[in-house]
Amino acid sequence: MFVLNPPNFSNLSHHNNALCRPSPPFSAYRRIPLLPSRRRPVVKAEIGGGGAGQGQSQSQSQTVTSTYSSFLETSKDSNGSVVSSGRSDEGIEVKAVMTIRKKIKENLTDKLEDQWEYFINGVGQGIQIQLISDQIDPVTNSRKSVESYVKGWLPKPSKVSYIVEYSAELRVPSDFGSPGALLITNLHAKEFYLLKVVIHGFSGGPIFFPANTWIHSRNDNPKSRIIFNNQAYLPSQTPPGIKDLRLEDLLSIRGTGKGERKQHDRIYDYATYNDLGNPDKDEELARPVLGGPERPYPRRCRSGRPHTASDPLCESRIEKPHPVYVPRDETFEEIKQNTFSAGRLKALFHNLIPSIAATMSRSDISFNCFSDIDKLYTDGVVLRDEEQQRGGVQDLLLGKVMNQVISAGERLLKYEIPAVIKRDRFSWLRDNEFARQALAGVNPVNIELLKEFPIRSKLDPAVYGPPESAITKELLEQELGGMSFEKAMEEKRLFIIDYHDMLLPFMKKMNSLPGRKAYASRTILFYAKTGMLCPIAIELSLPQTPSSAQNKRVYTHGHDATTHWIWKLAKAHVCSNDAGVHQLVNHWLRTHACMEPYIIATHRQLSSMHPIYKLLHPHMRYTLEINALARQSLINGGGIIEASFSPGKYAMELSSSAYKSMWRFDMESLPADLIRRGMAEEDPSMPFGLKLVLDDYPYASDGLLIWSAIKEWVESYVVHFYSDPNSVTSDVELQAWWNEIKFKGHYDKRNEPWWPKLDTKEDLSGILTIMIWVASGQHAALNFGQYPFGGYVPNRPTLMRRLIPQENDPEYKKFIENPQHAFLSSLPTQLQATKVMAVQDTLSTHSPDEEYLGQVNPLHSQWINDHQVLKMFNKFSARLVEIEEIINARNKEPKLKNRTGAGVPPYELLLPSSGPGVTGRGIPNSISI
């Protein structure tokens, strides 16, 4: 390493205003009085010796120095360090090594800027670092602080070109204690990404400060960034030297709740979903606010944009390709950006979807035959839009599923064959496959045991008609193969998928939309003695009208050609309902939207030193960013979801209605959910304390393995940190965190009696297990099968365009003459299908930088300084490897018909690991897509 003397840069001030000030001392040791605990500490005062480099004037710096001169007699050593003359020792030399990540793919401008920054850092003019002891001086009751500037260059630590290191030399007294925090001040004109800082030279060995954060420029925010070491502390255990910094860091993250957020901000706050519509652009794009008594909803991250001119309740929108605000550290890292944000996801919505529309809109027609659908996988779609001729589509980073070929100036978009038909292209036609997907498909969380009969609606009969279902005992007995109805109920062989009450209030509005026709459905399934589950009756309902009672019809599979085709149409309508409920309720609401308040509250109320913050941190990665992108292009007014799913413009109102009527935090526990649905019953003699009603229920049996592994890991972690009986109730940060989740994040549910208490370590373990399960296993089970199951449109149509023809309908004759055409013309059009397939492909894709459950990114390996915790985590990781082997063995077990058999795809959605792309397996730590 070599050091250059700082040259005179006065004639280069236009490059970097930090260079205009006098060269600072190389390092300085200071003791600064602590502020009273009731007063908010001021970072600028703590680092006043840096003068203008700390956002202070020189006079302010002198004032700070003179304030403490009465009790500090100082002298300078040969390096310019300031040490207390009252100490007889000369102190020790320590080195702070700072690891910074640069861009992976740089253009010429980036490279020139890097060289300039590299030079400025090398001469000690770019980054200031202040080392804060975890102790206070017992004589002066002041904080111990040593400051210096990054100066000099270190060799590249590896062959990774985008990882660079800098160092700062500091002299500390022998009684300095252990460094508990760092203050980093970025004097450059732009931000940089700090991976970590390691302090070498203390007797106990290297001290790690994991950062993994963007350090803003002083030009954007004069306050320094606070980085704590990797020791976990409960609030009451915080060393006195950094106690005030712990509070200061939290206060800086919470913000004031006012003003528009800037891209460099790290402010976490709450807002309603008031940004889905765009009434200023078109009154047809106006959407109601979600969040409030009428339309309750979880809160999102506040961005503070101005309100629209048309509606003072709605926030103005940021349209693609401009980014929606999320706190700076929540944005995608570069690999993820290239794969989804800047590459796949934004380009998909900005370029590919319009290109498909331009190519097909003039002939936006039905599929004429099933071979038209097959051509999407064999021949592909030729895109001739001018957009792609300018290069927009050419630059897409579309992965494994969409194979593309450039030929004669045209773009060929080719879809890979979805897993559901890859082994057996006719499997989707069979009743047993329809039922299998209720247990092992992409939406295996709506099937319930039929517990009560007759089936009755809970909707207001004055509005929605008689509550009794049209499904009768006599009708069901005809389908039970000789078994009595009473015996089938007694042996728990009857199951139901019931979307009646959720959808019927929206039917009139949904069916008024052009090209949309839907029913509210109930489906009864029977578990035969052969070990197979099959649908035996489907009830489809329309709202009652003044001229007629509620229209309820029940369909069975029948024995003649006409009945068989009508049965296929009935199943298609059920699948369309299932696709909508899956996307809007189970996937978006119960994982994405409900997780967002937990993440916001964790940052606002739990210090990064808090052990629970450290536990939850991997499970929060990318979620706020993917949710912001969804509000921009997926769930917004006129977005992909409205265009592709049956509820159309009422999609998010339906999601709000489901939140109001059925969401409960305590029921997001997998065991509680299975018991609620009657799919399991408590049994202490069983491995997980549960006995499944259906042993061959892949989602439940594999999910319980993952759930139990998370539970064991969380319980051991919580016990390790909360050993005292009152340690949970006395943890002020933890209690504030839980209260904020209930009273701010899920404000519309704040008074519900079912919220768990947070009094004991058992309470805490249960709450955390639910959160981690939702972010990892639950989301994986509901997300990564979207293209494997939905990529073949007849298997899971996202909307239907026609009602089932009745004998007195004009369309009935055409149906009799050509039932295949009638069926296909009821499905989404070619344009609708191709658009939703493109989206499902993207949403089913793992990024190359995915972090999976039980794995730690090598760059985050020093996340905690606790060997016992690391030992417990390694046990958790080893358990997940075992679980993967168990699931693989189950997928080869001939007795498990929902996993094995001719053409049956194995159930892999809860296999913990995966490679990148659309794999139909893998459990990321967090909701990252």
Tell me the catalytic residues.
587, 592, 779, 783, 929
Q: Cα(453)–Cα(450) distance, rounded to whole angstroms?
A: 8
Torsion of CA 306, 312, 318, 323, to 10 degrees: 60
Q: How far apart are CA 503 and CA 484, in angstroms?
A: 31
| CA distances in angstroms from 736 to 604, 607, 635, 729, 901, listed in the order given | 9, 12, 31, 10, 52
Angle at 199 between CA 193 and CA 201, to 5 degrees: 160
**CA distance linking residue 542 with residue 553, whole number of Å:** 9
d(CA 275, CA 277): 6
Q: How far is CA 786 from the centre of its chain?
A: 16
What is the DSSP secondary structure assignment for residue 15, as one 8-state letter? T
Helices (H), ranges, 70-159: 108-122
322's CB contacts (< 8 A; 6+ apart) are: none
Bridge-partner residues for 904, per DSSP?
none
Burial class of residue 66 in the structure, from the number of CB atoms within 10 Å of its CB (0-12 exposed, 13-18 middle, 19+ buried)? exposed
d(CA 242, CA 182) in angstroms, rounded, equals 10
What is the C-alpha to C-alpha distance for residues 389 and 604, in angstroms, rounded to an integer? 47
SS3 string, 606-618, reads: CCCCCHHHHHHHH
Cα gap 457→500, rounded to integer Å: 8
CA atoms within 13 A on the CB side of 637: 22
Distance CA 503, CA 542 (A): 10
Structure tokens at 494: 């009857």
Tokens of 228: 């704590």
**By three-state DSSP, how is residue 194 classified?**
strand
Distance CA 918, CA 905 (A): 15
CA distance 685 to 293: 44
How much is the CA Rg of the chain, to the nearest whole Å?
Answer: 31
Tokens (6 digits) for 435: 């039922």
CA distances (Å), origin 17, targets 14, 52, 150: 6, 11, 17
What phi and psi, each to the nearest 5 degrees, are found at residue 249?
A: -65, -40
Q: How many CB atoms lie within 10 A of CB 400?
A: 13
Beta partners for 193?
Answer: 101, 214
Number of neighbouring beta carbons within 10 Å of residue 683? 12
- Phi first, then psi, for residue 765 (nearest 5°) are -60, -40
Length of the chain: 929
Question: Tokens for 352?
Answer: 């590919």
Phi-psi region of 51 (alpha: psi -120 to 50; beta: other; left: phi over 0): left
Measured from the Cβ of residue 753, the count of other Cβ atoms closer than 10 Å reads: 4
Residues 537-576 as b or e (16 or more Cβ within 10 Å = b): bbbbbbbbeeeeebbbebbbbeeeeeeebbbbbbbbbbbb
Strand order of the sheet with strand 179-186? 27-33, 142-149, 127-136, 179-186, 225-228
Which residue in the block uniquely carries the two structure tokens 């009451």?
A: 236
Residue pointed to by tokens 């203390």:
202
Q: Which of 425, 212, 173 is nearest to 328 (CA)?
A: 212
